[in-house]
Amino acid sequence: MHVHVKGFDSCAQRWYQGRRSGCFDARGKLLRRLLQVTFLAILLFAGAPQRLRAETGEDAWLRYAPLDQADVAKYQSLPASVTVLGDSAVLSTAQDELIRGVKGMLGNTLRAENGAPSESAFVLGTLAEIHAASPALALSGDLHGDGFLLTTGRVHGFACTIIAGADERGVLYGVFAFLSKIAQNENVAALDELQQPAVPLRWVNEWDNLNGSIEHGFGGRSIFFDNGAVPADLTRVGEYARLLASVGINGCAVNNVNADPGALHDDFLPQLARIADVFRRWGIQLAVSVDVSSPKVVGGLETFDPLNPKVAEFWRAKTDQIYSLIPDFGGFVVKADSEGRPGPSAYGRTPADAANVIARALKPHGGVLFYRAFVYDHHLDWTNVKNDRARAAYDIFHPLDGQFDDNVIVQIKNGPIDFQVREPVSPLFGGLKKTNQAIELQIVQEYTGQERHLCFLVPMWKQVLDFDIHADGAGAPTPVKVLVSGKTFNRPTGGFVGVSNVGLDPTWDGYVLAMANLYGFGRLAWNPNLSASAIADEWTRLTFGNDPLVVRTITAMQLASWHAYESYTGPLGLGTLTNILGPHYGPAPDSAENNGWGQWLRADHDGIGMDRTVATGTGFIGQYSPAVQKLYESLADCPDNLLLFFHHVPYTYVLHSGKTVIQHVYDSHYDGADAAATFVSQWKSLDGHVDDDRYAAVLSRLQYQAGHAIVWRDAINNWFLVKSAIPDARGRVGHNPNRIEAESMQLDGYVPFDITPPEAASGAKAVRCPAPTEKCVAKFRFSGAAGWYELDVEYFDQSNGASKFRVSVNDQTVDRWIADDHLPALKPNADSSTRRRIPGLALRPGDEIQIEGIPDGLERAPLDYVEILPRK
């Protein structure tokens, strides 16, 4: 509950602004004000609901927050003790977790016991142990893998709640599932529920470098590495393992797939063993990404040719050494012949050759090798219209089907390009019938807003997983989710891999709301049949509690967010129209063209899109089965949302929706930016229903997103306007009547300059201080009608300086701030463009509005425009 005392906020605001007058210069006045505030607060809090405790997000969905008294009553008949059958680290973790969860939510401390129960108890154990302890107990179901059973029954004559696992991990997963039910206020009295994971291998990959940085990590520095070593304090690693285990993840490759060979050095392995020790009690197997040139770089051989016996011997000896330190080591992940990484092509060998030599070293220990299918040439000739990066994975791996050993899993990104906001399903899922496969999903939002934009990816993943790729010809449906389980073609294994990239930030990934993606990944890996809305609902209840308004609002926001993000970043299957040569963040569509990276849009004055048809294009569509080819090959059938991925069409082409391509682009960008703005008002409706800290942190992200969505909207629409020369039928693009461009203001010190690319700034220009200087000023006179307005200042916040800004109206300071949001940019462009909103300004015609910028470092207080809108 929030208490707003009229007058206090503005007093604090004036103080922040350095204007002590009227607030702090008269001590007596201040004292009186404080007394009033205290008195009012006492009055308001007496009998009011307990204030929500402050939270950082560190507990994510495992908060075990106390339930309301009325709900606690529901669980009164639960046993008072928990006994464990068997003796292992994972089982005692399960017992500790149950005690912790029950204590947190219900306030009771369960008695911890071992062995057969001597009273009514929670009984934890593997099915085998429970059978041995109580042979008469008929437990239902065929439990295997890491599955579990939650049930009730008499053990040794006592009425017990039984949490049985097919293995020890299953017991731990059962405990988490049970606690999750309590946290969601579900009835657990007459439980009889069996859950089995859909796939055996449920891994995450972390792209952490040994120096502690993370490739595309938005949650701070690594929890695994610092300055070339594994840190002494692995507390966060343990907490992360707990989070992963709670959603059924059983493997984690801790270092970047762009692997530092140093990870295999003799003196590094004992350090990795320390991480494995922490993982073990959570049932998580450590895995390591390896560089295929390690035999040469680490082993000192003159070659890393996979067919050379010395190379095989290197991998055998190194792997044996690892298992001597880490007996439950999971295996390796390999990225090779991709984006400059060494690979078997150096010796004319295939990915199967490279994979098998390593897999054979792992085999005796039960380890597996994930070989990534993300192999492509990033020096493609863009002048050849038949070239197509999307073809690469299938062209390379399909001919090798059947040549991989049975402990190799080919790890396939969901789409044929690279984690774009929308892509079709990779045809390779249908192209491997005699090879194990896993789907690689990107949990971290590299191309989908980098944890600064709300983008819940589960709906996108669901579309991929449910897609029937018709791999079995005329046979039964073969959705991707079944193919990767290995069941379709009777493969021994298969799985899900999520690129997670959490860091030391208390929120793990930089944004409380983005953790729904990690949760959702785990839930789908366990059960891909869950719906996106069920997952969003669960996650919200666990993360924020069961208040119906909170659950309804956040679930709705999450479910709307991918569509919104897609609408203002990359419609019609074009992919995220971001700077692919930079941080993959803000808009910069031209960066995709005329280079070897192969993410071409093929945009010219007349039309846009890649022709990937069999008839006239690159032939990519021919990699799908006939039924899928039929869906995409003809313009008549191709769905609008993938049209420009598969076809090159004129801007005037009419979509199934009845709109032209160009008008769809314009409209969807306005719709998407509007949707982002509604997230702010939706979130504001939760003020007082969510703890203050997380409320404020999320609000600030959503406000930023609403502003950056406008940057995206304007940049992409202007780019299309320039390319096509077709105006927006609704007259919006290029017309911003409420905007005052900085370059048109009266400048003192500030100088105009051209922005590159031009669409990154309004009017293609901005102003900045020419060199380090004390301050620069841009001012103008307000010419609208008298009234209340909100004033948006669009400026550039680079990461190489922290400029200060001050806005005044007729010499009265109305706002000041420091530009230090650490956006991913060293220059003024669409990555650094951001907005400061000053709400509630009373303006009259002729008022002088002045923006003062004080540069810092290499950031010259750059300013794009001011927009003045009537206050909402």
Q: How far is the CB of 756 from ligand GCV (least distance, A)?
A: 22
Give the residue with the Cβ less far from ligand GCV, 215 or 395.
215
Q: Which amino acid is at 772?
A: P
Cβ count within 10 A of residue 407: 21
Residues 451-510 that bind ligand GCV (CB under 6 A): none
Residues 391-450 that bind ligand GCV (CB under 6 A): 418
Which among 446, 537, 759, 831 is annotated as catalytic? 446
**Contact (CB, 8 A) for 825 and 850:** no
Residue 377 binding ligand GCV, by CB under 6 A: no
Give the residue with the Cβ less far from ligand GCV, 90 or 355.
355
Helix (H) or strand (E) holding 29: helix 27-45
Buried b (16+ CB within 10 A) or exposed e, 714-746: bbbbbbbbebbebebeeebbeeeeebbbbbebe
E strands, 127-250, are 148-155, 158-165, 192-195, 201-205
Q: How far is the CB of 388 from ligand GCV (least distance, A)?
A: 17
- The answer to whether 339 is a known catalytic residue is yes
Give the residue with the Cβ less far from ligand GCV, 450 or 561.
450
Residues in contact with 192: Cβ distance below 8 Å, sequence separation at least 6, in sequence order? 140, 150, 151, 152
How many angstroms from the chain centroid is the CA of residue 603? 30
Q: ω into residue 772 within 30 of 0, thus cis?
A: no
Q: Which residue do the tokens 């449920």 mark? A: 202
Q: Per-residue string for binding with ligand GCV, 257-276, x by CB under 6 A?
A: xx------------------
Q: How far is the CB of 759 from ligand GCV (least distance, A)?
A: 22
Give the residue with the Cβ less far from ligand GCV, 582 or 639.
582
**Contact (CB, 8 A) for 542 and 184:** yes
Spatial distance between the Cα atoms of 53 and 33, rounded to a whole number of angstroms: 26
Question: What are the backbone angles phi and psi of residue 582, rounded to the nearest 5°?
Answer: -120, -135
Q: How far is the CB of 463 from ligand GCV (least distance, A)?
A: 21
Give the residue with the Cβ less far from ligand GCV, 207 or 282.
207
Q: Which among 465, 393, 404 is positioned nearest to 431, based on CA atoms? A: 393
Q: How far is the CB of 821 from ligand GCV (least distance, A)?
A: 22
Spatial distance between the Cα atoms of 121 and 264, rounded to a whole number of angstroms: 47
Q: How far is the CB of 34 from ligand GCV (least distance, A)?
A: 52
- The answer to whether 446 is a known catalytic residue is yes
Give the residue with the Cβ less far from ligand GCV, 417 or 733.
417
Q: How far is the CB of 287 from ligand GCV (least distance, A)?
A: 15
Q: Which of 19, 74, 181, 216 binds ligand GCV (CB under 6 A)?
A: 216
Which among 313, 339, 593, 847 is annotated as catalytic? 339
Stretch that binds ligand GCV, among 73-81, 96-104, 251-259, 854-862 (CB under 6 A): 251-259
226 CB-contact burial (10 Å; exposed 0-12 / middle 13-18 / buried 19+): middle
Which among 55, 405, 418, 797 is annotated as catalytic? 418
Give the residue with the Cβ less far from ligand GCV, 239 or 446.
446
Stretch that binds ligand GCV, among 255-263, 534-542, 598-606, 659-667 (CB under 6 A): 255-263
The CB-side HSE value for 253 (13 A sphere, CA atoms) comes to 30
Helix (H) or strand (E) holding 851: strand 848-854
Stretch that binds ligand GCV, among 192-200, 252-260, 531-539, 629-637 (CB under 6 A): 252-260
User: Structure tokens of 503?
Assistant: 């860091």
Spatial distance between the Cα atoms of 295 and 546, rounded to a whole number of angstroms: 54
Spatial distance between the Cα atoms of 786 and 74, rounded to a whole number of angstroms: 59
Spatial distance between the Cα atoms of 426 and 433, rounded to a whole number of angstroms: 15
Give the residue with the Cβ less far from ligand GCV, 445 or 668.
445
Q: How far is the CB of 256 from ligand GCV (least distance, A)?
A: 6
**Contact (CB, 8 A) for 332 and 369:** yes
Residues 182-211 that bind ligand GCV (CB under 6 A): 207
Stretch that binds ligand GCV, among 51-59, 254-262, 385-393, 642-650 (CB under 6 A): 254-262
Give the residue with the Cβ less far from ligand GCV, 257 or 706.
257
Residues 123-162 that bind ligand GCV (CB under 6 A): none
Spatial distance between the Cα atoms of 282 and 247, rounded to a whole number of angstroms: 11
Give the residue with the Cβ less far from ligand GCV, 256 or 625.
256
Q: Which of 236, 281, 335, 422 binds ligand GCV (CB under 6 A)?
A: 335
- The answer to whether 633 is a known catalytic residue is no
Cβ count within 10 A of residue 414: 25
Residue 215 binding ligand GCV, by CB under 6 A: yes
Residue 827 binding ligand GCV, by CB under 6 A: no
Beta bridge partners of 521: none
Q: Which residue do the tokens 């049930």 mark? A: 151
- What is the gyration radius of the CA atoms in the chain, in angstroms? 29
Q: How many amino acids of this chain bind ligand GCV (CB under 6 A)?
A: 10
Q: How far is the CB of 272 from ligand GCV (least distance, A)?
A: 19
Residues 216, 219, 222, 227, CA torsion sign: positive
Q: Which of 75, 314, 332, 374 binds ligand GCV (CB under 6 A)?
A: 374
Spatial distance between the Cα atoms of 598 and 382, rounded to a whole number of angstroms: 7
Residues 557-586 that bind ligand GCV (CB under 6 A): none
Q: How far is the CB of 215 from ligand GCV (least distance, A)?
A: 5
User: Structure tokens of 31?
Assistant: 């004292």
Q: Which residues bind ligand GCV (CB under 6 A)?
A: 207, 215-216, 256-258, 335, 339, 374, 418
Give catalytic residue positions.
339, 418, 446
